[in-house]
Chain A
Amino acid sequence: DTGVSQNPRHKITKRGQNVTFRCDPISEHNRLYWYRQTLGQGPEFLTYFQNEAQLEKSRLLSDRFSAERPKGSFSTLEIQRTEQGDSAMYLCASSSLQGATGQETQYFGPGTRLLVL
Protein backbone atom coordinates (compact mmCIF):
# COMPACT_ATOMS: atom_id res chain seq x y z
CA ASP A 1 0.00 0.00 0.00
CA THR A 2 1.64 3.26 -1.10
CA GLY A 3 -0.94 5.64 0.37
CA VAL A 4 -0.66 7.83 3.45
CA SER A 5 -0.63 5.83 6.66
CA GLN A 6 -1.32 6.96 10.20
CA ASN A 7 -0.75 5.28 13.55
CA PRO A 8 -2.40 4.56 15.82
CA ARG A 9 -5.86 4.50 14.29
CA HIS A 10 -7.51 4.97 17.67
CA LYS A 11 -6.26 6.38 20.94
CA ILE A 12 -8.06 6.67 24.27
CA THR A 13 -6.29 8.62 26.96
CA LYS A 14 -7.00 10.30 30.25
CA ARG A 15 -7.04 14.06 30.59
CA GLY A 16 -3.58 15.40 31.34
CA GLN A 17 -1.68 12.64 29.55
CA ASN A 18 0.55 13.20 26.52
CA VAL A 19 -0.14 11.51 23.20
CA THR A 20 1.85 11.21 19.99
CA PHE A 21 0.56 10.36 16.53
CA ARG A 22 2.58 9.35 13.50
CA CYS A 23 2.02 9.99 9.80
CA ASP A 24 3.88 8.34 6.95
CA PRO A 25 3.26 10.26 3.72
CA ILE A 26 3.40 9.01 0.17
CA SER A 27 7.13 8.54 -0.37
CA GLU A 28 7.72 11.05 -3.17
CA HIS A 29 5.63 13.82 -1.59
CA ASN A 30 7.55 16.69 -0.07
CA ARG A 31 4.56 18.44 1.49
CA LEU A 32 2.75 17.22 4.58
CA TYR A 33 -0.29 18.67 6.30
CA TRP A 34 -2.06 18.00 9.60
CA TYR A 35 -5.78 18.67 10.01
CA ARG A 36 -8.24 18.16 12.86
CA GLN A 37 -11.85 17.13 12.38
CA THR A 38 -14.54 17.19 15.06
CA LEU A 39 -17.89 15.46 14.78
CA GLY A 40 -20.17 16.95 12.16
CA GLN A 41 -17.56 19.39 10.90
CA GLY A 42 -15.12 19.50 8.03
CA PRO A 43 -11.40 19.17 8.68
CA GLU A 44 -9.54 22.27 9.90
CA PHE A 45 -5.93 23.02 9.04
CA LEU A 46 -3.37 22.73 11.83
CA THR A 47 0.11 22.88 10.31
CA TYR A 48 2.17 22.30 7.16
CA PHE A 49 5.65 21.03 6.35
CA GLN A 50 7.66 21.36 3.20
CA ASN A 51 10.36 18.72 3.53
CA GLU A 52 11.57 19.04 7.14
CA ALA A 53 10.64 22.69 7.57
CA GLN A 54 7.43 23.58 9.40
CA LEU A 55 6.28 26.60 7.42
CA GLU A 56 2.79 27.36 8.69
CA LYS A 57 0.86 26.89 11.89
CA SER A 58 -2.81 27.59 12.51
CA ARG A 59 -4.02 29.52 15.52
CA LEU A 60 -5.74 26.25 16.45
CA LEU A 61 -2.32 24.84 17.26
CA SER A 62 -1.92 25.83 20.89
CA ASP A 63 1.36 25.63 22.80
CA ARG A 64 0.40 22.13 23.91
CA PHE A 65 0.67 20.91 20.33
CA SER A 66 3.96 20.26 18.58
CA ALA A 67 4.70 18.70 15.23
CA GLU A 68 7.93 17.51 13.72
CA ARG A 69 9.08 16.05 10.46
CA PRO A 70 12.68 14.94 10.92
CA LYS A 71 14.54 14.29 7.67
CA GLY A 72 11.48 15.30 5.70
CA SER A 73 9.93 11.85 5.80
CA PHE A 74 7.40 10.79 8.45
CA SER A 75 5.84 13.32 10.81
CA THR A 76 4.72 13.21 14.42
CA LEU A 77 2.08 15.30 16.16
CA GLU A 78 2.31 15.44 19.94
CA ILE A 79 -0.34 16.80 22.27
CA GLN A 80 0.80 17.50 25.81
CA ARG A 81 -1.50 17.65 28.83
CA THR A 82 -4.50 16.56 26.79
CA GLU A 83 -7.90 18.13 27.43
CA GLN A 84 -11.35 16.77 26.64
CA GLY A 85 -11.67 19.40 23.92
CA ASP A 86 -8.78 17.73 22.08
CA SER A 87 -11.03 14.76 21.28
CA ALA A 88 -11.22 14.66 17.49
CA MET A 89 -10.01 12.88 14.38
CA TYR A 90 -6.48 13.95 13.44
CA LEU A 91 -5.87 13.69 9.72
CA CYS A 92 -2.60 13.80 7.84
CA ALA A 93 -2.30 14.58 4.14
CA SER A 94 0.60 14.68 1.74
CA SER A 95 1.05 16.24 -1.66
CA SER A 96 3.44 17.21 -4.38
CA LEU A 97 2.96 20.55 -6.08
CA GLN A 98 2.30 20.26 -9.80
CA GLY A 99 4.71 22.87 -11.18
CA ALA A 100 3.41 25.85 -13.08
CA THR A 101 -0.24 24.76 -12.99
CA GLY A 102 -0.37 25.38 -9.26
CA GLN A 103 -2.45 22.30 -8.75
CA GLU A 104 -1.98 20.38 -5.59
CA THR A 105 -4.03 17.33 -4.76
CA GLN A 106 -3.74 16.36 -1.13
CA TYR A 107 -4.02 12.68 -0.32
CA PHE A 108 -5.33 11.91 3.11
CA GLY A 109 -4.54 9.12 5.53
CA PRO A 110 -7.22 7.21 7.46
CA GLY A 111 -6.82 9.44 10.50
CA THR A 112 -6.20 8.88 14.19
CA ARG A 113 -9.30 9.14 16.35
CA LEU A 114 -8.48 10.55 19.78
CA LEU A 115 -10.78 10.30 22.77
CA VAL A 116 -9.77 12.13 25.93
CA LEU A 117 -11.64 10.96 29.02
Chain B
Amino acid sequence: SQQGEEDPQALSIQEGENATMNCSYKTSINNLQWYRQNSGRGLVHLILIRSNEREKHSGRLRVTLDTSKKSSSLLITASRAADTASYFCATDAGGSGAGSYQLTFGKGTKLSVIP
Protein backbone atom coordinates (compact mmCIF):
# COMPACT_ATOMS: atom_id res chain seq x y z
CA SER B 1 0.00 0.00 0.00
CA GLN B 2 1.09 3.58 -0.51
CA GLN B 3 2.75 5.34 2.40
CA GLY B 4 1.19 8.70 1.80
CA GLU B 5 0.16 11.32 -0.63
CA GLU B 6 1.82 13.97 -2.72
CA ASP B 7 0.03 17.25 -3.09
CA PRO B 8 -0.98 18.54 -5.53
CA GLN B 9 -1.64 15.58 -7.84
CA ALA B 10 -0.91 17.80 -10.83
CA LEU B 11 0.78 21.17 -11.20
CA SER B 12 1.15 23.35 -14.27
CA ILE B 13 3.45 26.38 -14.24
CA GLN B 14 5.25 28.71 -16.63
CA GLU B 15 8.96 28.30 -17.29
CA GLY B 16 10.97 30.34 -14.81
CA GLU B 17 8.44 30.02 -11.98
CA ASN B 18 9.04 28.02 -8.84
CA ALA B 19 7.27 24.70 -8.26
CA THR B 20 6.43 23.40 -4.81
CA MET B 21 5.27 19.86 -4.15
CA ASN B 22 4.30 18.42 -0.80
CA CYS B 23 4.42 14.91 0.55
CA SER B 24 2.81 13.45 3.64
CA TYR B 25 3.55 10.07 5.13
CA LYS B 26 2.09 7.92 7.86
CA THR B 27 4.75 6.06 9.82
CA SER B 28 8.13 6.87 11.37
CA ILE B 29 10.93 7.09 8.86
CA ASN B 30 14.70 6.80 8.60
CA ASN B 31 15.19 8.69 5.35
CA LEU B 32 12.97 10.46 2.85
CA GLN B 33 13.93 10.66 -0.81
CA TRP B 34 12.56 12.43 -3.84
CA TYR B 35 12.62 10.85 -7.28
CA ARG B 36 11.70 12.12 -10.74
CA GLN B 37 10.12 9.99 -13.42
CA ASN B 38 9.76 11.02 -17.02
CA SER B 39 6.79 9.53 -18.81
CA GLY B 40 7.09 5.75 -19.11
CA ARG B 41 10.64 5.62 -17.82
CA GLY B 42 12.56 4.64 -14.71
CA LEU B 43 13.04 6.80 -11.64
CA VAL B 44 15.92 9.22 -11.22
CA HIS B 45 17.10 9.92 -7.69
CA LEU B 46 17.05 13.64 -6.84
CA ILE B 47 17.83 14.07 -3.16
CA LEU B 48 17.84 12.23 0.17
CA ILE B 49 17.11 13.84 3.52
CA ARG B 50 17.62 12.04 6.80
CA SER B 51 15.06 12.07 9.58
CA ASN B 52 17.31 14.26 11.76
CA GLU B 53 17.71 16.89 9.03
CA ARG B 54 15.27 19.71 8.41
CA GLU B 55 16.40 21.16 5.10
CA LYS B 56 18.66 20.20 2.24
CA HIS B 57 19.69 21.85 -1.01
CA SER B 58 20.96 20.48 -4.29
CA GLY B 59 21.28 22.87 -7.22
CA ARG B 60 17.81 24.25 -7.94
CA LEU B 61 16.21 21.81 -5.49
CA ARG B 62 15.32 22.53 -1.90
CA VAL B 63 13.80 19.87 0.33
CA THR B 64 12.35 20.37 3.79
CA LEU B 65 11.30 17.73 6.29
CA ASP B 66 9.00 18.15 9.26
CA THR B 67 8.89 14.87 11.16
CA SER B 68 6.40 16.23 13.71
CA LYS B 69 3.90 16.77 10.89
CA LYS B 70 5.12 13.77 8.90
CA SER B 71 5.52 15.92 5.82
CA SER B 72 8.11 17.05 3.32
CA SER B 73 8.22 19.59 0.54
CA LEU B 74 10.23 19.79 -2.66
CA LEU B 75 10.87 23.21 -4.19
CA ILE B 76 12.21 23.51 -7.72
CA THR B 77 13.35 27.05 -8.42
CA ALA B 78 13.51 28.71 -11.84
CA SER B 79 11.76 25.79 -13.50
CA ARG B 80 12.57 24.66 -17.02
CA ALA B 81 10.57 22.76 -19.61
CA ALA B 82 12.92 19.82 -19.01
CA ASP B 83 11.63 19.61 -15.41
CA THR B 84 8.32 18.31 -16.77
CA ALA B 85 7.91 14.92 -15.12
CA SER B 86 6.23 13.10 -12.23
CA TYR B 87 7.82 13.59 -8.84
CA PHE B 88 7.60 11.00 -6.08
CA CYS B 89 8.57 11.04 -2.45
CA ALA B 90 9.70 7.76 -0.96
CA THR B 91 10.35 6.83 2.63
CA ASP B 92 12.23 4.03 4.30
CA ALA B 93 11.99 2.88 7.88
CA GLY B 94 15.60 1.77 7.96
CA GLY B 95 16.88 -1.75 8.36
CA SER B 96 18.80 -3.53 11.06
CA GLY B 97 21.49 -6.02 10.24
CA ALA B 98 20.55 -7.38 6.85
CA GLY B 99 17.17 -5.68 6.96
CA SER B 100 16.05 -3.96 3.82
CA TYR B 101 15.52 -0.29 3.21
CA GLN B 102 12.52 -0.92 1.03
CA LEU B 103 11.03 2.30 -0.22
CA THR B 104 7.38 3.22 0.20
CA PHE B 105 6.21 5.68 -2.43
CA GLY B 106 3.38 8.15 -2.69
CA LYS B 107 1.27 8.51 -5.82
CA GLY B 108 3.32 11.36 -7.21
CA THR B 109 2.82 14.91 -8.46
CA LYS B 110 2.68 15.41 -12.21
CA LEU B 111 4.51 18.65 -13.02
CA SER B 112 4.10 20.40 -16.36
CA VAL B 113 6.39 23.32 -17.12
CA ILE B 114 5.11 25.37 -20.04
CA PRO B 115 7.79 27.05 -22.18
Contacts and interface: CB of A to CB of B under 8 A. Distances in A.
B104 interface: yes
Tier of interface size on chain B: 20 to 34
Of B30, B50, B104, B105, most buried by chain A (CB within 10 Å of CB) is B105
Tier of interface size on chain A: 20 to 34
A56 B97 CA distance: 13
B107 interface: yes
A50 interface: yes
Interface string B11-52: 000000000000000000011010100001111110010100
Interface of B: 1-2, 30-31, 33, 35, 40-45, 48, 50, 88, 90, 92, 94-95, 98-108
Interface of A: 4, 6, 31, 33, 35, 40-45, 48, 50, 53, 55-56, 89, 91, 93, 95, 97, 101-111, 113
